[in-house]
Each structure stands twice: as structure tokens, then as C-alpha cells.
Structure 1
Amino acid sequence: MAASAASWAGDDAARIRGIVETAIRPVMAEHDVPGMAVALTIDGQAFYFNYGLASKQGNVPVTERTLFELGSISKTFTGLLAAYAQVSGKLSLADHPGKFMPRLKGSAIDRAKLLHLGTYTAGGLPLQFPDDIMDEAQTTSYFQAWAPDAEPGKFRRYSNPSIGLLGHIAALALDGDFAEAIETRLFPELGLNSSYVRVPQEAMADYAWGYDQANNPIRVNRGPLDAQAYGVKSSTADMIRYVQANIDPSPLKAPWRRAIKDTHQGYFTVGDMVQGLGWEHYRHPITLDRLLEGNSRGMALEPRIATPLVPPELSSGLTLFNKTGSTNGFGAYVAFIPQKQIGIVMLANRNFPIPARIRAAYAIMEQLTPF
């Protein structure tokens, strides 16, 4: 029988460590992961577990301050910025892209709403931009010429260009650049002191090297709308604080509390998964098989029927929120259950298989709170 989160947080840190190490060390060994930082929050208390190296060249150990590339977990910040822009009266998710980007007026993409961009339901935008799209002008031209293969709201097709365009528009609505809006508005309001889109020189010593499948050191390449889709770098110290803010946003200023609540809305169901702004969530209790399916390769690469929730459904009862993220050299996973006040962050400097991340996180959380 799994113990309650409260009993673990209160008097058994050593046993928590044993649970984490039993799940994490075999995964690191099997997939040759150089370094991993894991953090848990249980009833508002944070626990940190650090393994291996942030840099094999410099023999630099991982700590809770080590910066990892979050990959697509960055999309949850993009969703939050868009929600904040809506709360602030700068946009509505019912708006169309052409309102903020006049060059898109009358194009096929302008038939979609901003909500469709944020939930990957605009009508078939692909996972990635074509390789020949490099700069802002080419990106805008791409959206002007894009031809959908379905009406907005019919199918979910996971897409960096889709949520990337939402982030770009949210920043325009807030009269700024996306990276600037994230780094000077969002991160400070959430108390995230070691999170960046553009890692400054003074923080580079904390920036881990990722490792590709040939064990070459690697970091993320720039691309169109990369900051919005996969560009955030952060630490477990910051990310567990972010999870705590999602579990209990009451210490935040009112607009940010409301924005977080809006990112917890469900807009479409896709199988057992409910698609929100960035976050994907499930009714709890949830089986491991259902969670694996919701984070499967097919879910990422194939169009899936999307059933709209009208009106949007604010999560009620027990709900598990989660998001995976990957770049060529990094792999990450975040999950939390607000009603149980428990959450986990896993950041690694290798893009190891998503099912291995899900299984490890599930094994840890299952022992800390009954699933």
C-alpha cells in the first residue's frame, strides 16, 4: 500500500530518496544518460535528487541549479503567456491571427482562432517547419501560403508552428518580443530566477551540455519560432517552483492566478487525453498504459480526432497534468496532481525514450500517493 504524500513529506526523506533512486538509476544506466536532475514537491515541500554530470568534458556534476533544455515543456509557458494576454484584455482566444498580423488576413490560417493554434487544431499544421524556412519573413510567407487539410477544430495534429504562432501573437498583443515577455514578465512573476530563453553569459557555467546518440556534446539550434515551441532552459529549482505555482497559484498576483487557471482548462478531448493550453491532462486515477498512450509517438505524429469541450471544462476532481519535452540532446518530463499536492520534474541531458520517462515518473508518484 502506498503511503500518503503528507507522511512522506513529514518524516521519511530517506525513503523518498530510495524510491527515486530505484526508479532513476536503472533508466540512466539503460539509456546511457550522462546526467539527470529530479525534483519532487509534496505538500508544498521540495525535494531534489541529482545524478551524474552536466558536462562530461569538464566533469561538472548536476545540481538543482543546472540548466537543461526543456524542449516542448516550453509550450506550457507559451500557453501561460497567451492566457495572461487574454486576462489582461490584450487578446481573446476567439480572435483570429489576422487581427495581429495583417499580412495573414484572408489566408487559410486566418480561419483558425488563436485557441486552435494553442491546441494544435488549426487544420493540419505540421510538426515542424520545412527546412528552408529560416527567418521571420519566410515564416510569415509560409503561414500565408499554408493549405489546411481539415476545418479548424476537427483534428489535433501536434505542431511547433501552431503553438509557435500563438506565442508570437501573444507577444505582439503585449507590445513586445516573445523572449523579452517571457524573461521580463512571466519568469519574474512566478519567482523563476534561473530560467531563460536566451541564457546570459553569467549563467553559461550552469548550462549543461546535451549529448546526442553518438555522445557528442550538443545544444539546441535556432529555428523559426523556436523560443515559443521549445526554447526555454531551466533548472529543477525553478521548475519545481513552477509546478508548485500550478498546484497552488494563490501567492501570485490576480492576473497570473487567473492565467494559470485558464491553462488548466480543457478545450478538446483526444482519446483519454484532454488538451489544454500547453498542458495535457487526464482524469485521475489513471493507468500507466493510458498515460503512455497519451504521450505516444502516434499522438505526436498522427492527426487524431478532437472533440471540443463546449463550454471549456475547468479540471475538477482528481486530475493529472503532464508534458514531455525533447531537443536533440535533452529529454524532460513534468507531471503533477494539484488535488494531491504532488508533482515531479525530470530533466536529463540526453533525449532518452519518452516511455522510459513516463514509467519512471509513474513508479515514483505511484508510491508516494495512491494511483
Structure 2
Amino acid sequence: MRKISAPKLGIIAAVSLVCGANVYAADNGGPGEIEHIVNDAIHPVMEENNIPGMAVAVTVRGKRYFVNYGVASKDSRQKVSKDTIFEIGSISKTFTATLASYAQVIGALSLSDNASTYLPALAGSSFDRISLLDLGTYSAGGLPLQFPDDVTDQKEMIAYYRNWRPSSVAGTHRQYSNPSIGLFGYLAAESMGQPFDDLMEKKLLPMLGLSNTYIHVPQNQMSNYAYGYSKVGKPVRVTPGVFDAEAYGVKTSAADLIKFVEANISGAGLDETLQRAIAATHTGYFRVGDMTQGLGWEIYDYPTDLERLLAGNSSDMALKANKVEKLASPIPPQEDVLINKTGSTNGFGAYAAFVPAKGIGIVMLANKNYPNADRVKAAYRIMTALDRSLE
């Protein structure tokens, strides 16, 4: 896996800043440039979008820095910390992809297998001709962004898939879809003979060393679980739905999510099989504009410019079917790339990005759903400044 040398940047100690921010790292030391880099990018975003609280974590060649703003709850006025639990929405898909990749590495499945192989109830349906890879890369042929409202349980889910007909040939168009990657995760769990939630909470998350990441937040952690806020300022949390765990159901802290990002940068100290599985999620399968689709993650050549990142994270990319440029063969994991993923629920907005070759990464967790463009701009500004500081 990738090896990153120690940082040149100084270590930042806990200090109180204006606007309720706290900046600190694991070791003691004087305030440094990361404090200014992050504040300059985040303060305007919070003000413009009326965000109650944010947790930002940065990793620079193995050193973690945490910057916290505002409150986790308007009612209690509890401050955001690096351990505050946020909903991360579709960044959950990168965890689902990691589990499926792990299943392939241990031989439980092959991404080239037809989806119906792992769910006999789908035999004789369109899923006899749709692969697990098609599902994991949103290229099954037009599965929608969300299930219809009347699909509320497994019986209705099976009926929906059996009756669904693709609008395009599998592997020719990308249409971002919770039912697509949700089924992908469900079938991966079926191949391993255990429920998805159990595999995540009892196997994958412990293997990753994530002790504050959940599908179901336990009662003894509910006091650390932030409230999200709707557009009109009402407190909200995600509601259950079919394949919610697989598509958008992970709740985690900045401290854990940056650790997951570091696992994607280098994988140092992890089980070798898990390292291989994580690396495989960075394989590129097709291109849409300047974005290369991996498993869960979305990949760009690095250096890249802001316009390309904004286009790849735009509403057109999320809401429309986009014709793909099929690659002659998958692109193996690369170093000189920027890898990212956005995620949202009704009351939360999140973003994660990293550059393996530089050993830099960022996670941004907010208890309000705000525009992807604002997340990307802020993160790009921070990561560009971090990159320059390493020269």
C-alpha cells in the first residue's frame, strides 16, 4: 500500500477561536497555518448557509487536525467536537463498496457475476443480465435515484426489481441511484451469508478501527448524535427506508471519518486482505466527463481544477442519466488522483476528499444540508493550500 512521509506542517494545540471554533491535534504545540487555512474557507460557508455546526478534520501525511464550529443542537447548545456523530448520507456508499470489495477479495463473490446469482427471487428478471459491477457503479440501465414511495419493505422491494425494465443497455449510462448501490450492498451481504447491518457493525467497522461509527446509533451514544436541521430550521434525523443502511445510513464522527480517509490513503496497520479491498475501490471503470467512476468513490486526475470537481459533483451528474466512456480495461488504483464523495440527508451535509500521492485528505460534516458546490469549493481551497504548504 501507499507510504507517506512525515509532515512539514507544525502541530496545532487546542485553542479557542472566534465563531465557536476549536482547532487541535493529537500533540501539543503552537497554533499554525492550518488554523487560518480552514477558518478562511469554512467561516463564509457557515454564514452564507446558516449552518448551526460543523466538524472539519484534515490529515497531512499521517497527522490529523480537527476544527470544530458551532453547536450539535440548537436546543441544548452542546458544542460540536471531533466525536460528535453526524449523518454522512451517500458517503455511506463508500463503506458499502468497501464491504463488497472485501467480499470479492475473500472469494465470496465476483463483481462480474449477475445480480440474480445472489438473490434467487430475481431469477428470470432483468437482473439476469445485470452484473454486480453495474449495480455498484450506477450503470445497471436506469434505476432511479430513489425507490417509489410505495416500496417500503422487502416484499415490495423484490416485486419492484422483478417488474423493473432498463431504459438503456447495462454499462452504457451512469444514473446515480440508491436502489442500484443499495442492491449491490445487499447482495454482497447475501454472498457472505450475514445481514448487511451485522457485517458492517460487527466486522468491517471494527476491522477499520472505527469505534464511533454506526448504522444504528446505540442508546449510550445518543447524547453525541447531532440534530440535523431542515431548510426551515426544524430539527430532523434520517428516517428508515429500504436499503437505507447500504445507501445513506452511516453515522460517524470527524475523528472516525478522517481515519477512514487515512485507510484509503495508505492502509497502514490494517489487515492485508482489507488493504487490498480498500485499494480495489479506487479502480476506475468508466469516465463521465472528467470524472472516473470507482466503487463508491469518484476519481479525478491530480492536479485538477475546481471547475472539473464542480461539474463532477453537480446536480446534472446526480439527477440525469449520463452516457459513459467505457474504458478498454479498468484503471488500477493510482497515486496522482483526487478521490471524493459527497453525502446528504434532509438535515446533514458531508464531504470527503483525499489525494493519495500527497498524503492529504479532508472531511467536512455539517448538521445542515447545504449545496455541494459550497462544500467542494471550501474543501478545494483548503486542500490546495495544504498542497502548497508541503512544497
Whole-angstrom distance in 2 between the partners of 1:26 and 1:7? 28
Change (3 A) 1:13 1:83: farther
**1:114 maps to amino acid:** L
How is 1:222-233 mapped onto 2 (pairs within 5 angstroms)? Answer: 222-233=240-251
1:74 equivalenced with 2:92 (yes/no)? yes
Kindly report the root-mean-square deviation, in angstroms, between the aligned alpha carbons of the 2 structures: 1.4
Three-state SS of the structure 1 residue aligned to 2:8 is helix
1:235 equivalenced with 2:236 (yes/no)? no
Question: Does the CA contact (< 8 Å) of 1:171 and 1:178 recur in 2?
Answer: yes
Q: Which has the higher contact order (CA 8 A, sep 6+)?
A: 1
Offset at 1:8? 2.2
Offset at 1:311? 2.0
Q: Which position in structure 1 is the counterpart of 2:152?
A: 134
Q: Kindly provide the CA deviation profile for residues 51-99 of structure 1, in whole angstroms up to 9, marking residues without a partner as x.
A: 0000111111000000000100000000000000001110000111111
Q: Which position in structure 2 is the counterpart of 1:260?
A: 278
**1:50 maps to amino acid:** N
Of 244, 249, 270, the residue aligned with 2:267 is 249
Unaligned runs of 5+ in 2: 12-28
Q: Which position in structure 1 is the counterpart of 2:220?
A: 202
The count of residues paired between Structure 1 and Structure 2 equals 368
Q: Which position in structure 1 is the counterpart of 2:80?
A: 62
Whole-angstrom distance in 2 between the partners of 1:154 and 1:306? 6
Question: Does the CA contact (< 8 Å) of 2:280 and 2:333 recur in 1?
Answer: no
**Runs (4+) of structure 1 moved beyond 3 Å?**
9-13
Three-state SS of the structure 2 residue aligned to 1:336 is strand
Whole-angstrom distance in 2 between the partners of 1:287 and 1:322? 14
Question: Does the CA contact (< 8 Å) of 2:335 and 2:356 recur in 1?
Answer: no
Q: Which position in structure 2 is the counterpart of 1:282?
A: 300
Whole-angstrom distance in 1 between the partners of 2:388 and 2:60? 13
Three-state SS of the structure 2 residue aligned to 1:37 is strand
Q: Kindly provide the CA deviation profile for residues 302-356 of structure 1, in whole angstroms up to 9, marking residues without a partner as x.
A: 1111122232111324100000000000000000001100000000000011100
Offset at 1:15? 1.4
TM-score (norm 1): 0.97
Whole-angstrom distance in 2 between the partners of 1:308 and 1:118? 15
Question: Does the CA contact (< 8 Å) of 1:5 and 1:368 recur in 2?
Answer: no
Unaligned runs of 5+ in 1: none
Offset at 1:250? 3.0
1:20 equivalenced with 2:18 (yes/no)? no
How is 1:90-109 mapped onto 2 (pairs within 5 angstroms)? Answer: 90-109=108-127
Question: Does the CA contact (< 8 Å) of 1:71 and 1:230 recur in 2?
Answer: yes
Of 378, 383, 387, the residue aligned with 1:360 is 378
Whole-angstrom distance in 2 between the partners of 1:327 and 1:369? 30
Offset at 1:105? 1.0
**1:250 maps to amino acid:** A
Three-state SS of the structure 1 residue aligned to 2:9 is helix
Of 332, 354, 369, the residue aligned with 2:350 is 332
Identity among equivalent positions (%) equals 52
TM-score (norm 2): 0.92
Whole-angstrom distance in 2 between the partners of 1:12 and 1:303? 50
Whole-angstrom distance in 1 between the partners of 2:6 and 2:329? 33
**1:165 maps to amino acid:** L
**2:166 maps to amino acid:** P
Q: Which position in structure 2 is the counterpart of 1:6?
A: 7
Q: Which position in structure 1 is the counterpart of 2:326?
A: 308
Q: Kindly provide the CA deviation profile for residues 4-46 of structure 1, in whole angstroms up to 9, marking residues without a partner as x.
A: 9933256875211111011101110110000000000001000
